[in-house]
Amino acid sequence: MLNILNKNQMAQNDYQKNQESIVRQSTLKFVGDYCKMIGTPLTLKEVVGVTNVLVDYCTNGYSKELGERLDKIDSHIQSKFEETL
């Protein structure tokens, strides 16, 4: 019986890791497409940072802290966008 529970837990963990990987890949693609759409290149560090925040949103939902992080990212991207004009 314990063996079946362990297998179920392992399958659940594998499923969750797979879902997290899909979310991360999709978000990374979205960030790349967004950069192209607004015509503002981001550094690799910025792309990874934005991706992590959006993955956090997809995984855990919206929170006040996340809203503050998004505001900071938005302001940073806006300032970069204005620099390229």
Q: How many residues does the chain have?
A: 85
Query: Which pLDDT value is given to residue 2?
Result: 56
Q: Taking the model in full, what pTM does it have?
A: 0.77
Determine the Cα–Cα distance for residues 60 and 42; give it in Å rounded to an integer: 25
pLDDT of 9 reads 80
> What's the 3-state SS for the chain?
CHHHHHHHHHHHHHHHHHHHHHHHHHHHHHHHHHHHHHCCCCCHHHHHHHHHHHHHHHHHCCCHHHHHHHHHHHHHHHHHHHHHC
Domain ranges of the chain: 2-84
pLDDT digits (tens, 9 = 90+) for 29-71: 999 999 999 888 899 999 999 999 999 999 999 999 999 999 9
Cα 38-36-25 angle, rounded to 5 deg: 120
